[in-house]
Each structure stands twice: as C-alpha cells, then as structure tokens.
Chain A
Amino acid sequence: MSRVSIQIFLGSLMILATTLVMVFYGLNEEQRMEDTRKAVQARSIEEGAALFEQQCSRCHGTQGTGIPGLCPPLNDRYFFDQRLTDIGWSSTLEDYIVSTASSGRLTSTRPETYPGQGIPAMPSFSDQFGGPLRVDQIRNIAAFILNWESTAELVEVPSAPSGPPVGADISKELPAGDPANGEALTLSLGCQACHVTTPTGPAWPPTADQPGIGERAATRIDQADYTGNAVNPEQYLFESIVQPNAYLVSGYAEGLMPGNYADTLTDQDMADLIAYLLTVK
C-alpha cells in the first residue's frame, strides 16, 4: 500500500473513532447537564451559607431560628407555608426573600413581635441600594434559606414577659432562681441560635481549652482587661445579658448580642437564668 492510502485508511479509522467517542459522550449529555445543575445549586447553597453567617445570622440566628422580640425566624414552618399568603405576595418565596433582602424593610410588618432594629427595621443588602451584596450573592442566600424548607419546624412566638421587666440595673436584688427553669429559658429564648460553638450543644459548658460559664464568670471580673461594673459572678452574668457591650470578650465584635433583654425578661426569668448558668462550671 502506498503512503497515501495508508494515511487515508488510518485517518478514516480515527475519524470513525472520534465520531464514536462523541456519540457515547452525547448519550450521557442529559445526565451530565443534570449533575452540573445540581452541583451549581450545591455551590450556591454553600456560598449562601457563608454569606448568611456573615450578614444575616446576627439578627436571624445562625440556624435561622430568629431572635424573639427582635427578628423573625426563617427556619420556620410558618415562613415556608403561610407567610406569602399572610402578606399577599403573589410571586415565589425565592423572589420574596431576594426582594426583602435586597431592599430591606423600612418598618416591620409585625412590630408587636418582631420590631427589628427600629427604622429601618432591616437594612437593605443589595449594592444597588447601598448595601454590601451583589444580586447573585443575595440569590445564593435565598438558596440557602430555601434549603431549610423540608426540615423547618414551627417556631413558637414567645409570650410577652409575665411581669414588669427586669431593667438594666445590675445591682438589683433578685428573687431566688430555679436552675431547671433557667435551662428551659435558654431554649425558649433562643439563646442557642447564636451561642453555639460546638456541634453537640450550647456555648456555656466547658470545652477543651476553657471551663464552663459559671467558672468563667467568676474569673472574668478579676481580669485586668475587664471593663464592666460587676463585683460578683451573679452580677457579671446579669450585666452580660442586659448590657452586652459593657465588656467584650476579645475576639467578639460590639453589638453582636441584642440589647433588648432588659425589657423582655422579668426578675424571676433573670434569676433563673443566672442560677442555671452558675451551675455550669
């Protein structure tokens, strides 16, 4: 055979092989596109999770369970099932989330239970309205929030304090506290929405490198950098709850914790909480 015919033969074989590979590749194309769509959605949720932690968790809680008396829960059955009907939103929930997060809220729709930060109740997050986020980032946050849909449970709206509020004076004389009731309060008040640093529970038990909150409360007030006014562990915990900015543990920013507990807790609630936290050594 001449060189020309060998090359024609081999060339034809290779073009045939190329075609066959393309056909097999094409057969799997639907599946590949589907997998890519899923991967794109997964990355969107991952990115949204990080952004939610940075931008939203301060008010809505790290797990989206909201902060009673401040911001509504999003990881909430009501939010997924009933919210759109209640406010008469005709489009999708994703659009609702994107729209609200983009433009914020001038005033709260539920000022009685979730007044937000005042006016505006919620700042605008879109960079089109002076916020920090691009629209694709807000869509990622929406993807993250929507991923709660299948697991969300109904978050109970906590009842108003049953007596006069405790106020911000930490030297106040408190009644005797009940630790068991205090522990129940940490759940119903949603403290664990933010105070979670371990996968197994709240932030106050002892961890590998530091003792529990009861022990910490006793040693903090003697530290050189302590800037608050408490003179004993009870007052330190009292102060930390009603005046969260009086002393900041290094590594935490100012204004992370809502400042409204002086108005939403009763004397008895406060006593119970302190009693419970002091037992966690």
Chain B
Amino acid sequence: MIKSLNMQDLRQKLSGAIDNRVRIITAGMSVDEIRAVLRGDPPTERPNPRYKVHTTSFIFHIRPRYYEAGSTVFTHTFRLGFFTSFFFFLELFTGLILMIYYTPSPERAYTSILNLISAVPFGQLLRDLHRLGAEGMVIFTALHMLRTFLTGSYKKDRTFTWLTGVVLLGITMFLSFSGYLLPWDQLAYWAVTVGTSMAEAAPLVGNQLNLLLRGAPDIAADGLLRFYLIHVVLLPLAAVLVISIHYYKVSREHGISLPASIDDGDASPEVTRAAKQRIDFIPDLLTHEVFLVSVGLLILILSVTVFGYHAPLESVANPQSTPLDTEAPWYFWWLQGMLKLGDKTLMGIIIPTIIVLLLVGVPYIDRNPYRSLYRRPFAVGIGIFSVLALVVLSYMGTPQYGIETDAATRIVQDLAPEEGTGPLHTVPFDQLQPGVYVVNESPTQGLCPGLDFGCPELEKAFNLYSQWINTAVEQGKLPDVEAVLVIDAWQKDLVKVTPRIVWSDAGQRKTYEKNVYLHRERGSE
C-alpha cells in the first residue's frame, strides 16, 4: 500500500487539481499565470490567458481588454470618470447599510439619524462617508464633463456618449438633492422647500408638478416618502441603467479619447505610434484601478476621521419656523442666484431648460472638427465664460448676497446662529459667567474677575458683538443704541444668554432680543 504511493505522482495530481480550481475561479488564469502577472512577466501560455478572462468572466467582459497608451496619460483624463463611478459604488455600499437604520416618516426620520450617530458603532462614519461621497460625486461629475468639453472629446463618434453624460449629470444632482431631505432637519426641510418651489414656477403644470413632488401643498409624510423612494429606488435604478449605457459606449465602441494633438494629426509619427500602443487591462490597468481605489479610500477615511468632515445635522424640521438663512444645496446656488435676477418662471424654468438643451446640443452646435484647445478658441471661450458665470451666480445665490436683514437681527444671528455654530457657541461653559455685559461700558478685558484664569473666549465673543454694534452705529443703522449681553444661570448646567439691542427708529424705541440656551454638554467646541 505504502509502496504504491508515489510522492511525485501525488504532488503532480494535487497541483493539477489546485491549478484547475484556480482556473475556474479566475476564469482562465493558472497559478503560474497569476505569478507572472504579479511579477510583470509576459503571458505564460498561448493564446494569452489574460484575454480569456474577458470572455469567460462577466465582470471582466464588460471591461475593455486594453486601452491605447495615449488615453491613459494622467493629465489627459485626471481619472475623473473613474472617481465618479468610485463614488457611485461608495454611495451604493454605504447607502444600503444606512437603509437598515432609517425610517422614512416625519416622526421617526430625525430620531433614526440621532440613533444612528449615537448608538450604532461606525454609524456616524458611514453617514459622513455617504455625505462626502455625494458631494464628491457631484463635483467629479461636473469636472469630468468640463474635462470632456475642454479636450473636445464629445465630437464625432462620441456624441451619444455626451448625451448620456448630460443625463447622468442631472441624475447625480437629483440623487444628491433627493437625499438632502431624508434626515428631516431644518437644513433638509427648508432646502427642499426652496428647491421644490421651483417646480411651481413651471407654466401650466406647475401646481400639479409641485403637488406630485411634495405629496401635499407642504412637504410632510407623503413628501418624505416620495423623496425616499426617489432616492433609494428610482434614481439609483436610472443611474445604473444610464451608467451602463455610458460605460458600454466608452469601453466597447470608441474607447477613451486620445489627446487632441494625436487625433488632430499634430504629433510626429513616432509619438502617434507610441500613443496607439496597447496597454492590457490585466495586469496594468487592473492594478492601476485598484491603486486608485486605495488612494480614494484613504483620502475619504482621512477626511472623515483625522480632518473631521462631518455630515451636517441641524435641529429637527419645523414647518412653523423658517430659519433666517435658508439656502439650497451649493450645487443649486447658481439657480438661486438667477432667481434673484428676475421672474421665477423665466429664471427658474425657461432659462435652465435652455441651458440643459444647449448642453445636450453641444456636439451638434459645435461643428469644428478639431479638438485642440488652440484650434477652437470660440468654444473654449464659451466654456470658460460659463464656468465664471456659474461661480458669480452661485455667489449671488448665497443668502449673504442681496438680502437685507435688519441690523440688530443680523448681529444677533451672527453672534448665535439659529443653526450651526457662532462665536457665542464656542465659549466654554465655565466662562459663561452670569452677569449683565453692556456694550461700550463693560471692560473689554477682565470681564470675569471671579475666575482665576479669566474668560478670554467670552471676552472674544463679547468684543466681537461690541464691534458689530459699533460698526452698525457708524453706518447710521442703530441710532441711540443700548446693547447688552445678559447671562443668567438658568438651571443645572444650563445658562440663558440674551443679547438685547435697543435703538431709536422714527421716534420710537425698538427692541430686539433673543434667548439662547446653552448646556454644558452641547458639544460645540
């Protein structure tokens, strides 16, 4: 029995079996082949087993077998499209986990977010990643489109790909926007109220459209459910479909464009030949993509841990109280800016529609066959002008621009914003010493003689308050002003801070005051 067992025979049989198993798993590559790939050696067999993977594996069959060397130059693509899809998969992954902890109803939504960040391990990390990924996806989609425009990559064979790209830009923005409402905080509620009120301006169907979107004249349970379903079902499905079409065109039909100099025929024959050399997907491109993913993951994780990016969460949505500084998400600021310029229907519906039509029509309007920046000054000029216009309009869309707030209200809002953190919120609790601090009477230093180390942070906030008051007085806004900051010890670990401004207006004394309650453990440092 023992005699008949030949060790060499056994080893051969075993390695044969392992090799077979590995070939099945890797869809065609043997153990030796994987080694060769990792070492950077040429293929071990013929026909090339690395190409076989592309026919036997589903995942690899939708990827190209090779790119042309010229199209992989970093400064040509900046990997913008790759990172856009990276963010999309990140959103799918984090989003699916977040769905476990979320309930789309006004009574439960906000509580479920609080529960997520205070009772679920890594819950806040997931939420921060999901939010950061959403911002990243919008930014990278826009940059990807800008790059495609500047390199003229939408021309000739790529016109339809450009069209799907425009659709994807829209889907991305609405994906992000529909997710905005879900936390059901003040930020969400009012941003979406402002956003959906745009639909109201549509001619003829405006009211119906608004009603369809909100589920009622005002956003409530029905509206939240609709936005939730749009966010987790409708738009992701649409995105998967359109991304598939977009990507299929790129990988199977026309590939990533080559740098303009080669397409335009400006480069020397050697350069052109080098640019058309094939770079195989396995191992070069695959390794590069995994490398990019690890870069992306590291940057994301560092952003939400070490650099402290956190998804914002304001107080629970309150339809009865409109916050002073209501604003749309930043990628819709340009639209808010336009709305300040004129009629709601013209600026909110007609011009945006024209912009979208122009974007769709770019490849058909621009008949210039050349792709180089220098040979299409007109198109490039329009592109740069559009970006500048977007930036200016976005600035005009912020609440700081063009909305006059009463001076006293503005000062108190700047000192202690209704949402978020102001100078008053950053004062450590122990420095909030009860007392009446009168602007231009109380000392600017040594406000709290009772404290061994004084109260520098309180002094800073109080001096800022005094400074704003005095600036307003210089501008003639608050005649005969008396401004105080009153701090009361209100409860255990709770103080009530009341900035009160009294001034003369048309012969009458007017008062503006606000009560701000600050708890020791509110955690805004």
* A residues adjacent to B (C-beta < 8 A): 2-5, 7-8, 10-12, 14-15, 17-18, 21-22, 24-26, 29, 32-33, 35-43, 45-47, 49-50, 53, 135-136, 144, 147-148, 150-151, 198-200, 208-209, 251
Inter-chain contacts of B302 with A (CB < 8 A) = 21
Shortest distance in angstroms between B404's beta carbon and chain A's nearest beta carbon?
25
Inter-chain contacts of B491 with A (CB < 8 A) = 45, 49, 144, 147-148, 151
Q: A36-B117, A46-B519, A199-B487 are in contact. Are A14 and B494 (CB under 8 A)?
A: no
Within 8 A of A (CB), among B446-499: 482, 484, 486-494, 496
CB <8 Å contact, A8 and B38 = yes
CB <8 Å contact, B287 and A7 = yes
CB <8 Å contact, B111 and A136 = yes
Inter-chain contacts of A33 with B (CB < 8 A) = 117-121
CB <8 Å contact, A5 and B40 = yes
* Stretch among B62-70, B222-230, B242-250, B288-296 lining the A interface: B288-296
Shortest distance in angstroms between B280's beta carbon and chain A's nearest beta carbon?
10
Residue of B nearest to A209 (CB): B482
CB <8 Å contact, B502 and A151 = no
Residue of A nearest to B296 (CB): A14
Give A24 to B305 CA distance when docked, in angstroms. Answer: 10
Q: A33-B121, A45-B494 are in contact. Are A199 and B290 (CB under 8 A)?
A: no
Does B107 lie at the interface of the complex (its beta carbon under 8 Å from any beta carbon of A)?
A: yes
* Stretch among B2-10, B196-204, B434-442 lining the A interface: B434-442
Within 8 A of A (CB), among B110-128: 110-111, 114, 117-122, 124-125
Residue of A nearest to B487 (CB): A199
CB <8 Å contact, B522 and A42 = yes
CB <8 Å contact, A4 and B283 = yes
CB <8 Å contact, B482 and A45 = no
Q: A198-B436, A199-B488, A209-B482 are in contact. Are A49 and B494 (CB under 8 A)?
A: yes
Please list the 10 inter-chain residue pairs (A to B) with the smallest Cβ-Cβ separation, ordered nearest first.
A39-B523, A42-B519, A2-B40, A7-B291, A36-B118, A46-B517, A49-B517, A42-B522, A42-B521, A14-B294
Give A251 to B111 CA distance when docked, in angstroms. Answer: 37
Interface CB pairs A-B, < 8 A, 12: A3-B287, A11-B294, A14-B298, A18-B294, A18-B298, A29-B121, A29-B122, A33-B118, A45-B517, A46-B518, A151-B491, A209-B482
Q: A10-B291, A50-B517, A147-B491 are in contact. Are A42 and B523 (CB under 8 A)?
A: yes
Shortest distance in angstroms between B140's beta carbon and chain A's nearest beta carbon?
19
Shortest distance in angstroms between A80's beta carbon and chain B's nearest beta carbon?
13
Residue of B nearest to A251 (CB): B511
Residue of B nearest to A19 (CB): B301
For the complex with contacts A46-B519, A208-B482, 10 further pairs of A-B residues with Cβ separation under 8 Å are: A7-B287, A21-B301, A21-B302, A25-B122, A29-B121, A33-B121, A49-B496, A135-B107, A198-B486, A199-B436
Shortest distance in angstroms between B298's beta carbon and chain A's nearest beta carbon?
5
Give A3 to B39 CA distance when docked, in angstroms. Answer: 11
Give A40 to B110 CA distance when docked, in angstroms. Answer: 12
Give A22 to B110 CA distance when docked, in angstroms. Answer: 27
CB <8 Å contact, B122 and A11 = no
CB <8 Å contact, A17 and B494 = no
Give A150 to B492 CA distance when docked, in angstroms. Answer: 8
Does B277 lie at the interface of the complex (its beta carbon under 8 Å from any beta carbon of A)?
A: no
Chain B: residues with Cβ within 8 Å of the partner, total of: 57
Query: Could you mark each residue 413-424 of chain B with 1 if its beta carbon is under 8 Å from any beta carbon of chain A, else 0?
Result: 000000000000
CB <8 Å contact, A199 and B519 = no
Q: Which of B114, B297, B492, B496 contacts A40 (CB 8 A)?
A: B114
Inter-chain contacts of A53 with B (CB < 8 A) = 515
Q: A14-B298, A199-B434 are in contact. Are A43 and B492 (CB under 8 A)?
A: no
Does B306 lie at the interface of the complex (its beta carbon under 8 Å from any beta carbon of A)?
A: yes
Shortest distance in angstroms between B279's beta carbon and chain A's nearest beta carbon?
10
Give A200 to B316 CA distance when docked, in angstroms. Answer: 34
CB <8 Å contact, A45 and B519 = yes
Shortest distance in angstroms between B47's beta carbon and chain A's nearest beta carbon?
21
Q: Chain B interface secondary structure, helix, strand, loop or mixed?
A: mixed
Inter-chain contacts of A251 with B (CB < 8 A) = 511
Shortest distance in angstroms between A45's beta carbon and chain B's nearest beta carbon?
5
CB <8 Å contact, B287 and A148 = no
Q: Which of B40, B121, B125, B295 contacts A14 (CB 8 A)?
A: B295
Does B253 lie at the interface of the complex (its beta carbon under 8 Å from any beta carbon of A)?
A: no
Give A11 to B488 CA distance when docked, in angstroms. Answer: 56
Inter-chain contacts of A43 with B (CB < 8 A) = 315, 519, 522
Does B410 lie at the interface of the complex (its beta carbon under 8 Å from any beta carbon of A)?
A: no
CB <8 Å contact, B494 and A46 = yes
Inter-chain contacts of A199 with B (CB < 8 A) = 434-436, 486-489
CB <8 Å contact, B121 and A26 = yes
Inter-chain contacts of A17 with B (CB < 8 A) = 298
Give A37 to B521 CA distance when docked, in angstroms. Answer: 10
CB <8 Å contact, A147 and B288 = no
Q: Which of A4, A39, A136 contacts B521 (CB 8 A)?
A: A39
Inter-chain contacts of A148 with B (CB < 8 A) = 491-492
Residue of B nearest to A10 (CB): B291
Q: A18-B297, A147-B494 are in contact. Are A208 and B438 (CB under 8 A)?
A: yes
CB <8 Å contact, B290 and A11 = yes
Shortest distance in angstroms between A182's beta carbon and chain B's nearest beta carbon?
25
Does B520 lie at the interface of the complex (its beta carbon under 8 Å from any beta carbon of A)?
A: yes
Inter-chain contacts of B107 with A (CB < 8 A) = 135-136
Give A26 to B492 CA distance when docked, in angstroms. Answer: 33
Give A50 to B111 CA distance when docked, in angstroms. Answer: 20
Give A39 to B517 CA distance when docked, in angstroms. Answer: 14
Residue of A nearest to B284 (CB): A4
Shortest distance in angstroms between A31's beta carbon and chain B's nearest beta carbon?
12
CB <8 Å contact, B291 and A147 = no
Inter-chain contacts of A11 with B (CB < 8 A) = 287, 290-291, 294-295
Shortest distance in angstroms between B311's beta carbon and chain A's nearest beta carbon?
13
Inter-chain contacts of B284 with A (CB < 8 A) = 3-4
Residue of B nearest to A44 (CB): B519
Residue of B nearest to A46 (CB): B517
Inter-chain contacts of A144 with B (CB < 8 A) = 491
CB <8 Å contact, A4 and B287 = yes
Give A228 to B488 CA distance when docked, in angstroms. Answer: 34
Inter-chain contacts of B306 with A (CB < 8 A) = 21
Q: Which of A22, A32, A200 contacts B301 (CB 8 A)?
A: A22
Shortest distance in angstroms between B116's beta carbon and chain A's nearest beta carbon?
10
Residue of A nearest to B290 (CB): A11
Q: A18-B297, A37-B118 are in contact. Are A25 and B523 (CB under 8 A)?
A: no
